Amino acid sequence: MTSLLRQFDQQSLAEIGRELHEFATELYPICRSITGDGIRRTLGIIGAKIQLQMSEVPSGTEVFDWTVPKEWNVRDAYIKNTAGRRVVDFRQSNLHVLNYSKPVHAKLSLSELKQHLFTLPEHPDWIPYRTSYYKLAWGFCLTHKQMLTLSEGEYEVCIDTTLENGSLTYGECCLPGRSSEEVVISCHACHPSLANDNLSGLAVASALAQLLSGKDLRYSYRFLFIPGTIGAITWLARNRENVSRIRHGLVLTCVGDAGGFHYKKSRRGNAEIDQAMAYALQHCGETSEILEFTPYGYDERQYCSPGFNLPVGCLMRSVWGTFPEYHTSADNLDFIHPDQLARSLRLCVSLVDVLENNRHYLSQNPFCEPQLGKRNLYSSTGGKSIDEEINARLWTLNFSDGKHSLLDIAERSGLPFASICDAARLLSEGGLLVETSGEV
Ligand SMILES: [Zn+2]
- Residues 225, 270, 257, 295, Cα dihedral to 10°: 70
Q: Are strands 104-109 and 154-164 parallel, antiparallel or unpaired?
A: antiparallel
Listed residues: CB within 5 A of ion ligand 1: 197
* Sign of the torsion formed by the C-alpha atoms of 392, 276, 310 and 38: negative
**Cβ–Cβ under 8 Å, residues 63 and 233:** yes
Based on its alpha-carbon atoms, the radius of gyration of the chain, rounded to whole angstroms, reads: 25
CA of 163 to the centre of ligand 1 (A): 22
pLDDT the model gives residue 71: 98
CA of 392 to the centre of ligand 1 (A): 45
pLDDT the model gives residue 148: 97
CA of 129 to the centre of ligand 1 (A): 9
Q: What is the pLDDT along the chain (440 residues), one digit of tens a residue?
A: 778 999 999 999 999 999 999 999 999 999 999 999 999 999 999 999 999 999 999 999 999 999 999 999 999 999 999 999 999 999 999 999 999 999 999 999 999 999 999 999 999 999 999 999 999 999 999 999 999 999 999 999 999 999 999 999 999 999 999 999 999 999 999 999 999 999 999 999 999 999 999 999 999 999 999 999 999 999 999 999 999 999 999 999 999 999 999 999 999 999 999 999 999 999 999 999 999 999 999 999 999 999 999 999 999 999 999 999 999 999 999 999 999 999 999 999 999 999 999 999 999 999 999 999 899 888 777 666 778 899 999 999 999 999 999 999 999 999 999 999 999 999 999 999 999 987 75
pLDDT the model gives residue 383: 63
**Cβ–Cβ under 8 Å, residues 19 and 207:** yes
CA of 232 to the centre of ligand 1 (A): 14
CA of 217 to the centre of ligand 1 (A): 32
CA of 222 to the centre of ligand 1 (A): 22
Running DSSP on this structure, what letter comes out for residue 70? -
CA of 354 to the centre of ligand 1 (A): 29
CA of 191 to the centre of ligand 1 (A): 7
CA of 32 to the centre of ligand 1 (A): 12
∠ CA 229-57-40, nearest 5°, is: 80
CA of 409 to the centre of ligand 1 (A): 39
CA of 255 to the centre of ligand 1 (A): 13
CA distance 420 to 426: 10
CA distance 397 to 410: 12
User: How many CA atoms, within 13 angstroms, populate the side-chain half-sphere of residue 8?
Assistant: 25
pLDDT the model gives residue 387: 84
CA of 372 to the centre of ligand 1 (A): 56
pLDDT the model gives residue 384: 66
CA distance 302 to 7: 34
CA of 190 to the centre of ligand 1 (A): 8
CA of 142 to the centre of ligand 1 (A): 18
CA of 151 to the centre of ligand 1 (A): 33
Alpha helices per DSSP H over 192-258:
201-212, 230-238
CA of 295 to the centre of ligand 1 (A): 16
The CA-atom distances, in angstroms, between 205 and each of 34, 67, 211, 220 are 19, 28, 10, 15
CA of 28 to the centre of ligand 1 (A): 14
Running DSSP on this structure, what letter comes out for residue 17? H
CA of 15 to the centre of ligand 1 (A): 28
CA of 192 to the centre of ligand 1 (A): 10
Q: Give the orientation angle of helix 201-212 with respect to helix 338-357, to 10 degrees.
A: 50
Indicate the pTM of the whole model.
0.96
pLDDT the model gives residue 402: 93
List 361's β-bridge partners, or say none: 435
DSSP 298-362: STHHHHTSTTT--SEEEEESSPTTSSTTTTBTTSSTTTS-HHHHHHHHHHHHHHHHHHHH--EEE
List 262's β-bridge partners, or say none: 289, 316
CA of 198 to the centre of ligand 1 (A): 7
Contacts of 39 (CB under 8 A, 6+ apart): 32, 33, 169, 170, 189, 190, 227
CA of 144 to the centre of ligand 1 (A): 21
CA of 327 to the centre of ligand 1 (A): 6
CA of 298 to the centre of ligand 1 (A): 8
Contacts of 414 (CB under 8 A, 6+ apart): none
User: How many CA atoms, within 13 angstroms, populate the side-chain half-sphere of residue 11?
Assistant: 16
